[in-house]
Structures are given as C-alpha cells and as structure tokens.
Structure 1
Amino acid sequence: MASSCFMLSLVAVVMLLHGGHGFMPLFSLNGNSSRTHRDITREAVLRKTAEVCKSIATSEGRPFSLTIDNSLTVEKVQEACSGNSTAVLSTVMYHTSIATMYFSNALVDLVYALSEEHHFDDETFKGGRDVLTSDIFAVKASVKQENFIAGRVALGRACHTLQDFYSHSNWVELGKTSPYSALITPDQTLENLAGPNVATCRNCTNGDCTNNILPDLLQQGLLTSGYFNIFSSEKPAGKCSHGGSFDKTSKRDPTGGISKDTVSSSHGSLHPQAADLAVNATIELLEDIRLAVGDKDFLRLMGLSQSTVLCFVIDTTGSMADDIAEAKRVSFEIIDSKRGTQQEPSAYILVPFNDPAFGPLVMTTDADKFKAEINKLSASGGGDIPEMCLSGLQLAMTAAPPSSEIFVFTDAPAKDADLKSTINALIESTKSVVTFMLTDVLASRRRRSAQGAANRAMSQADAQLYRDLAKASGGQAIEVTKSDLSAATTVIEDSSASAVPQSDGNILVTFNNVPAGEFVLRIKGEDSTTSRAATTSFQRQASTQIKSSSISVTAQVNNTSIEPGASLSIPFTVASMSNGAVNQNASGAFTVKAQNDRSYTSSSPSSVTMSEGKANGTVTITVPSSASSGTDVTLTITAQDASASDINFTVMRFSVVAAVTDVTRPVCEVVSTTGDCSSSVCSSAQWGITANISDGVNGTGIDSVTVNQGSGTLNTSSSTSGGINITVATYSASCCAQSVELRILDKVGNVRLCTGQAKAVTVTAAPLTNTTTNSTAIGLHSVSVRHSLWVSLLLSVVWWY
C-alpha cells in the first residue's frame, strides 16, 4: 500500500511540474508560448479587480484612467485602485493573495490528479459542475465569515476546474466564442451532451489530430471531452482521449487526443482560443462572486487592501488588568489615528485566553466593532498560574493572513507548552511575526483569584519559551514591569506605521546546499532601475528563521473540505531523508503530534515505526455539526526523531462547507410599473416598479435586495402567498434615470440580477377582468404569484440575469 501511494504521489508531482493534465500549472516549459493556469488566473483577477475599482470610482465621481486589457500588472492595478503609487505594502499583499489563488489552482493537479470531475475529463460534465458548485459556494460562505484566506484557496480550486473545461472539451472546436455560463449557474440545464454510446472521435493520422473529432458530432453541436487514465487504456468505444504521454487511453482506438493544454498538445493550434475563453470564463466566475459578496468584500478577497491586520492575543486572567487597559489604549490610538488613511488596518483580530478557555476569535473589518470587543475584556479568574497562551496564539496565526504581525500580552507561563512545535510550524509556513509583551517576568508577584491569593512567578525557563518563538518568527520578547508597559507598546505603533516588507518584486534564488541547523535568509544585491541615476546596493533579510531537517512529513489529501458533522481521514508518511532521498537503511520510531486550531476531536498515533526509512499513519478529524459553513480548520502534523534532536511538520487547511442543497437562483416577477416619462423635462416626472421576489418553497430564503445600478430609492417589505415567503420590492426614480438593475441574493449566495425600465408612454387604462389588468389600478400593491407572470408579460419588462 505504501509503495502504491508513493507511486501515485510521484506521478502527481511529475504531472504538476510538467503539465501532463490541463493547462501548465505554473510555468511554461522550454520557453514556448503556452499560457498556464497561473497566467490565466492572474490575468482574470487583475482585469476583474480593475473593473470593480473602475465601477466604484465612476459611482463616486472619481477619475479612473487605467486601460483594462491583458497587459495589466499588480502594480498598475494597485495604483489605479488606491491612487497611491508608493503603497508598497498593499502591492505585496496583492501579489501574495493572487499567488495563493494560483498555487491552490495548481495543487488541483496534485491533490485531484485522478479525479475526472475536477478536470472535466471522461465526459463528466455534471460531476464537473457539481465540483465547481461546491467550491463556488465555499468561496461565498468563507467571505461571509470574513475568512478570506480559505476563500482564496477555494477560489483557486474552482478556477482550475473551470479553466480545464475549455482545454479538455470540444467547446472551442464547436466554434464557441463565449464562456459556457451554465457551468457556474447550476439551475441551468447542461444541453447537447454526447450520450454514452455516441462515438466522438476517429484515429489521428500519422500523429496529426487536427480533424480527429467526428464531423457529425460537430454538425450536431454535441459536447464531449477526452478520456484520461494513467494506469489503464480502457475507454468506451469510439470516444476521444485527452492525449499526451501520461494518457494510456490515447494509445487505444481512436488514438490521439483533443487536449489544448499547450501549443504542443494534440489540438495545440487551438490553445490560444482555449486560454482566452478560460480567462473570460474566470472573469465571469469572479463577477458572480462579486455580485454575491459586494464590491468591498470582493476587493478584500482579491487581497487589495492597504495594510496588514492588527492582531492581539490577550491574557484575561486576574492580574492582567493593567495589561488589558494598555492593549485597549494602544489599539484605540492606532484605530483613531489611521481611520480613513492608507495605513488603516485591513482587518482586526482579537483572541482572548485564560485557563482552561481560549477564544473565541473575533475578526472584523469594522474598527468600532473591534473597539467594542476589546472594551468587553476584563481581568478575572486564574487559579493556577499557567494559561492557554499558545492555544490562543495558534488560533490567531491560522486566522491572520500570511506575513502578519501578532502581539501577545501575558504575564504567565504557557500551560500548553506542548504546542511549541506546532507554533514553530505555523511560524515557518505563514511567515508571521510574533512579538510577546511579557510583564513581571522575574518578579514574584501575587495573583488574586476567587479562591484566594498565592505567590506565583514566571521563571526564566517559562519566559524562554516565548523568547524562542519570538526569535524564530523575527519578533521580540519584550520584558517589562507593568508600570513600564506603556513605553514598551510604542513598538506596536511603530510597527503599524512602517510595516513595509523586504521587496515588491519576485526574486528567484537557488542554493547548492542547505546549511545545517537554524539559519535566516539574507539577500544582497544592486538596484539599477531606470529611475535612479546610479546603481545602489541593497540588503534584505527574512524575519523568519529557517531550520533544515532530515525528516520529511507528507500527507495524502484526497479532499480539502469537510462538511459539518463529518469526519475526514488524512494518511501521512514520515521518512528519514539523506541527500534529498529516502534513507532506506534508517530504522527506529518517530514521535507524532497532530494538532488543530479549532480543538475539534481528532485521533492519530503518538508514534510511528520506520520500515525501509519510512513510516505511515493516519489522522482523523471530526467537525462538529454546529460548525458554521465558511469557517476552516488548520491541521498541523509534526514528527520528531527518537533523540528529540530533529523535527519537521506539514500544515494543511481544510474548509468547512455545508452540503449544497439550494442551487436555484431567486425568482423576480414584476407586479406593476407606475409613472409617465414621456415629458420632455425628465426632472419633473417620476417612475417606479414593484416586484415580487422569492426563493421558492425549498430555498434558503432571500438574504438581501439592493440596487446594483440605478439612482432611485428602493424599499422592501414582506408578505406570504401560497405558503411562499415573498419580498415585495418597490423602486422609484426620476425620469432622468429610466432603468434599474436590482441585485437579489439568497442566503447561500445564489444571485439573480433583475432589470427594469420606465415606460415612455402612459399605459391605457382598461377595465379589470379575469384576463386583463391595469398597471395604474394595481399601483404599488402586491398581487398573487399566479397573476404575476402574465402581468409581467403584459408590461413587457425584461428581468434577466
């Protein structure tokens, strides 16, 4: 079993690097002109972000001069959106966020290498759309929880599957020039699919697959995709293959393939068209998400924010009253001084801890809400001195964006010191900087509790744990008395004012060997940009410590999401490494720890024993049924050798996503129009519409109705008809603006856009009968659902998505 898992991993890694299945994941080989998943995702994100920023600027009456085309860069978009060409931090964060998306995109080829649904192989169009639907709902649920990191990961996965459709199917060969919108709107029917017994291809001729799709299939407009298998050549008779060296089915009649993954693929001449369609389809997907989450949260999802988060982890036991007061003071000062400026934190995170509790985590973009949450903190309790400091820190590190700065306030040792290896793993993987504010480390002080008083002290050994973690992250362990704490917290204000990373560019550095033990990375170079008169030297040093290890920890992840109430098993392998390869002569055991940041129930072996240099184990994690869809859980698996001299880890993030049960968009039906806009003086007249909006009997319900385009006034009220909850929307505007587009959102993120237009001529009144109606007589009152359809047809107002 171990050897087959290793073989599968090896094949997947080779495919990830060499692009055997789908657009090339990250890089084009041999300098060819093929576009990769990275290129496609990056271009779509830049264009859509720029479009949203342009829309916001237009609505606010601001200029926006950036030309939106395929030549956009992160720097250009950031500057156009923020109006600030020197906001280096914002640019770096935008770079990082886009990278998160395209790395998650690329990992689909590794994690789901053999899943036909994730690549639209084997004519699995329904299954592929189900995968897309699940990931899209995961994005929307994550954003709703302000969990933007998990949202980017899910979005990257969705983009890969969507983009593969245009490379793996015959959509391009059918002459289509626009995206297949039904793939991201699951309440639409997938039409013209080639049946299981319909032949789709013929043999390629002497390696030329240009015309291997059967003419009858193209004439009938039937949709197919290639079959793919790296182990077996079996496929249904007459069906197309994907093609390529990894695909064994392409060696069986009909031979060859229809892939457009690269310019050298079977249908490589169509690669540019497939890539263009993949870009446009990704933009269409991003627009759907934008409509569901709104412009502000969409830009946050894209990572276009001006500064890092302000993150506090605070001990709330009885002796911490002075520290809590100081944390309040400094956070309020930062909030008030930076509100509305380029340095305003993009988000605020607060994690209190005590004993035995820690959390709950509060993450918000609302400065006033953050103030209110900090104001709620009070110092109380605390019997024995150690507290759950590292558990609180773990929760903050997995919620904060990578490269964040986190401040911990405590005067007590860590009761959960066994989490040190987990925290070190998170420091290395997130590159976040942790600074500890330690008060009265050497003092023998009296902690008061409800049970009485006792002498306690944080020893030098206790404080050393915090020093070690601060050093590993590039932070500080600041040790002061409580009376001097206000002087020490100036480091927080200074950091928030000047938190600018090493560079906004990408530098690739290679090493001949890796130093033993702990080390930091320092780069020295020369900057000779055209804006400078002379070459200048520069030096940058990474804040996070790196430690080499002879231990490898890898996990076999078959799913990156878990439903509330479900369990997930994650097989892992620990290996002893020598010169980059498994040391098959190694023997002995590894100590194993598996920790998750949500304290969800989990099971794992406490140790594993090597055979031929490797050992296998399984971690099982169970998500409670009460977990909210859109949250996530981070699992860290660490392995230590028998002498406790070497340690390594792997960190995995899983999205918690409820099963998709409502995939139907809300319904919007016109009830009436009012007003007459035939006057030559538009400002002297008004018009309006009334519509009934519902989410059906089995829907999750209407979440919001807002004006997406229009300058009038919208009011909503509720009613019930035939057992269905109805939202009645009434909109009125000046005749100078004679159209409106409403954005209707249900509670799981299904979106419908409804457009209406004023009447240029007054509707002639007619007697009310069983077959006719009069818009003026109906006025702004709601009518029953059974009447609304023919009323809307009579009024000829198109409601469209």
Structure 2
Amino acid sequence: MRLHSPIDPGDWELIVFSGIPYRVKVTGQSVVDFMYDFVEPFEGPHPGLTLLAGRPMAGTASIMSVTATGLPHYTSLLLRDVALLNARGEVQRKEPLKSTSSPDIFLVEFETLPDDGFSVQLQGVGENSTEFRRQSPTIASVTKTRVKVNADPSVKVGSNVNVSFNVTNAGPSSQYRILITDDQNFIQSKPMSLMIDTDQTVEGNSIISVPEGTDPGTVVTVTVVARSSLDFGYSILELTVVSKVQDLRAPTCDVVGRISECPAESPAQCSLQSWSLSARFVSQGADRLSIYTRHGNGSLDREETQDGGQMVTLVTYNSSCCFPNVELVAVDKRWNVGKCSSRVRSRAPGSAPRNAAILLVAALVACLAS
C-alpha cells in the first residue's frame, strides 16, 4: 500500500483482515537520515577514535559513531538516544547520544552488544513533541573472534616487511583457518590451520614483498580472515608504498614577474583588461611537476629545463582582471606540495597603465633629443 502526498501527520490506524499471522512494516522517506559505524580508540601523538576494522566483539564495551543528515532543515528536532532492536522490533539496548565538536556527529557507548543480529534505531523528539524515529535497513552482528593486524604503515619499494597479527577466540574452542591476502598479490602466504581454545590469543606473521618498479603511492590493502565452523572475524590494514629514498622537500616557488595592472574603477569592464604572472618552480630530480591553479580562472603555459639534479619549471599565468587573485600549486610524484600566491595590483582611477606610462616617457625623451 502506498500513500500519496499530501499525507496528514498524526496517528494512523491500519486494519488488516487475515486468517494467518502477519507482520506490518511501515517505511517512509525524509531528508533526515543517519549513518553509523563502530569505532575504537587509538593511541599516539594525536590520540582519538578510528573506524573498527571488522565486526564489533561480543561481550565487550563498544563505541558507535552516528552521523545525522538533514538536521539544518529541522531546527526543532532534538536527537536523544540510539536503540538496538532484534528481528521482532524489541529494544535490546538503549543508550543516550553524546555530542561531539561536530553538530551532526554523535557518539554512543554500549557496555555490551546483543549476541544476535540487531538493527539500529535513532530516536528523538520533533516539533510539537512528536516522537521521532529512524531505523537502519540493515542487520548488524557481533563476533566472538577478534582479529588484529599490525605493520608499518609505509613500505619501501624492493623491501620485505613483516606483517604480524593475532586472533582471540571468546567462544568455544574451535579449529580456525587463517588466510592472509592483499589486493596487489605482494603476500605469498598459504592458509594456516590452528586450534584456538576459549579466551586464547594466538599470534602469527607473514611477509609482504614489494617488487622493484612498484609506483610510490600505491596503496596495499591487507586482509586477515580467521574462520571456524561457528564464527569468523577479520581485520583490514592499508599500507602505502614509498620510494627507497624519500624526498620530503617540497618544490619551491618564486614570483619572477608581473605584467600590467587592473583598473580600480569600472568593475563591469574587468573582462576587457588582463594581467599576467611569471613564476619559477624548482624541484628535486627529473620528474615533471603537476601544476594547477586555485582561486583563479586563467590559462597556464610552462617551460621546463634540467639544471643539474633539479627540474626548473617556468610558468606563465594569464587572466582577465575579473579574477585578480591566483595561487599556483605544484605537486611532485612523492606528493610534496609547493605553492605561491599573488594578487594583481589595482591602478588608481584615471591613471594610465604602467606600461603605457613607460611608453609615454620614452616618447617625450625622444622628442627632446630631436
């Protein structure tokens, strides 16, 4: 049954005549929606929360991140709680939302999660104290198998790097099959079989070999899966390939020339006037720079020369006076970024352009000399 607009708000009564048991599911569409992820704390120089690389663990505390969309359209809406519902729609867990520095992102802390599959429902109060609910269409589940994988986040071209992992079994003793793979086929590892007892943690490792010729910047996604006849768990880790000798020096940029000025009066005539800028980029090595503009809408010309172990790139930027600002940005193959900014100077009302003034002075000197 489909309802057509306009739909009157309020309580609706649905009467169904049936000789067999039935279930009723009501769905709707709204600009207010939400997404959720499970997150976990991480340590380091800048500690915080990161996405959980796998399913949440059964019987342990969990943190959920909730992102709400469309809130600016309903300023009277007050979001309060998140409820976890079983397949029959019964509330299994319910915890309050905690605000963060972002007005549309919230955190929810659960002491434990339901052992069976559950859906997530966002609850609150709308205009005129009406009840607000939004429910996820998918079913989430927990695992009793925790998998963690560790490795240096960057791997050098031509190197062999150790990837370690551990598997914890919080369920009954089981025989596990553990498989380690990556999307670049850098890991040559055969599946292993291990018996893991209740509350036991086993450790293992594998080697990732990055062949010569691999492009720096390549992302390698490593996946470790532990599966038994009763349960499974997995973890994902992304590694970035870097060059053997890392060049962390950004390209340098110097403005070497600026031609013409733009009139301060008659902004409507800006398209009839133009200005140009010359800049010099210097980068290490012989790689060609990727150069683009920000805050501008002009054209770019470039000329490259090799100077010893450096690449020198001369850039000429031409633009109409409608776009008086520009930022030139250069990126090398190692993702080092160099940039410089410039703004064309405005000519005082009624004054002649600098180039024209120079020509006028030259003409007067020629006349006096004759």
* TM-score above 0.5: yes
Match of 2:225 in 1: 637
- AA matched with 1:762: R
2:186 counterpart residue number: 600
The 2-side partners of 1:730 and 1:666 are apart by 17
Matched, 1:730 2:325: no
The structure where strand makes up a greater share of residues is: 2
Count of residues in correspondence between the two structures? 270
Change (3 A) 1:575 1:740: closer
Q: Structure 1 residues 703, 595: CA separation in 2 closer, same or farther (over 3 Å shift)?
A: same
Paired AA for residue 138 in structure 2: S
1:743 aligned residue: 329
Residue pairs, 1:455-494, within 5 angstroms: none
Amino acid at match of 2:288: G
Aligned to 1:563: 156
Pairs within 5 Å for 1:562-581? 562-577=155-170
Which runs of 5 or more residues in structure 1 are unaligned? Answer: 1-85, 110-117, 120-159, 164-400, 403-424, 430-473, 475-503, 767-801
1:88 shift after superposition: 4.4
What is the DSSP-based 3-state SS (H/G/I as helix, E as strand, rest coil) of the residue aligned with 2:291?
strand
Query: What are the superposed Cα offsets for residues 603-629 of structure 1, whole Å, 9 maximum, x if unpaired?
Result: 256223558944332233334445442
Seen in structure 2, the aligned counterparts of structure 1 residues 543 and 557 have a Cα distance that, compared at 3 Å, is: same
Structure ranking higher on relative contact order (CA contacts 8 Å, 6+ apart): 2
The one-letter code matched in structure 1 to 2:251 is P
Per-residue CA distance 1:748-791 (angstroms, 9 max, x = gap): 3322332234454627869xxxxxxxxxxxxxxxxxxxxxxxxx
What are the equivalent positions in structure 2 for 1:380-399 lying under 5 Å apart? none
Match of 1:20 in 2: none
289, 297, 306: which is aligned to 1:702? 289
Call closer, same or farther: CA 1:691–1:602 in 2, change over 3 Å: same
* 2:233 paired residue number: 649
Rate the CA distance shift 1:596–1:428 in 2: closer, same or farther, 3 A.
farther
Which amino acid in 2 is paired with 1:634? V
Structure 1 equivalent of residue 342 of structure 2:
756
Q: Distance in 2 between matches of 1:507 and 1:735?
A: 49
User: What CA distance in whole angstroms lies between the structure 2 residues aligned with 1:619 and 1:543?
Assistant: 35
**Counterparts of residues 144-543 of structure 1 (less than 5 Å):** 160=46, 508=108, 510=110, 514-515=114-115, 519-522=116-119, 527-529=124-126, 531-535=127-131, 538=133, 540=135, 543=138
> Which deviations, in whole Å up to 9, do the C-alpha atoms of 1:2-22 show, x marking residues without a partner?
xxxxxxxxxxxxxxxxxxxxx
Which has the larger Rg? 2
Q: Secondary structure at the match of 1:657?
A: strand
**Contact residue 604 and residue 617 of structure 1 kept, 8 A:** no
Q: Spell out, residue by residue over 1:688-740, the C-alpha distance to the aligned partner (whole angstroms, 9 max, x if none).
A: 222333324x264311232x2235x2221324264554433222344565443
Q: Give the CA deviation at 1:533.
A: 5.0
User: Does 1:662 find its partner at 2:247?
Assistant: yes
Residue deviations 1:438-489, cap 9 Å, x none? xxxxxxxxxxxxxxxxxxxxxxxxxxxxxxxxxxxx9xxxxxxxxxxxxxxx
Asked whether the 8 Å contact 1:604–1:618 carries over to 2, the reply is no
Letter in structure 2 aligned against 1:656: T
Instruction: Quote the Cα distance in structure 1 between the aligned partners of 2:231 and 2:108.
Output: 27
CA separation in 2, counterparts of 1:601 and 1:714? 46
Q: What are the within-5 Å matches in structure 2 for residues 60-79 of structure 1?
A: none
Distance 1:675 1:566, change over 3 A: same
Q: CA deviation at 1:540?
A: 3.4
Q: How many angstroms apart in 2 are the aligned matches of 1:701 and 1:615?
A: 48
Q: Distance in 1 between matches of 2:151 and 2:129?
A: 54
Q: 1:620 is matched with which residue: 197, 207, 219? A: 207
Per the TM alignment, residue 681 of structure 1 is displaced from its structure 2 partner at its CA by 5.5
Kindly state the Cα deviation for residue 541 of structure 1 after the two structures are TM-superposed.
5.7
- Residues 524, 673 of structure 1: CA spacing in aligned structure 2 closer, same or farther, 3 A cutoff? closer
1:691 maps to 2:279: yes
> Residues 40-79 of structure 1: matches in 2 within 5 Å?
none
State the Cα distance separating 1:509 from its structure 2 match.
6.9
Partner of 1:279: none
Greater share of residues in helix: 1
Q: Distance in 2 between matches of 1:657 and 1:666?
A: 21
Residue 570 of structure 1: how far off its partner (Å): 3.0
CA distance in 2, matches of 1:762, 1:569: 65
* Residues 1:753 and 1:633: Cα distance change in structure 2 (over 3 Å): same
Partner of 1:717: 302
Where 1:572 maps in the other structure, the secondary structure is strand
Cα separation, 2, equivalents of 1:615 and 1:653: 19
Measure how far apart 1:555 and its partner are: 3.1
Provide structure 2 residue ranges, at least 5 long, that are not aligned to the other structure. Answer: 1-29, 58-86, 88-103, 348-352, 360-370
Shift of 1:427: 8.5
Instruction: Specify the alignment match of 2:82 in structure 1.
Output: none
Question: Do the aligned partners of 1:514 and 1:548 also contact (CA within 8 Å) in 2?
Answer: no
Which of 247, 253, 259 is the matching residue for 1:674? Answer: 259
For 2:248, what is the secondary structure of its paired residue? coil
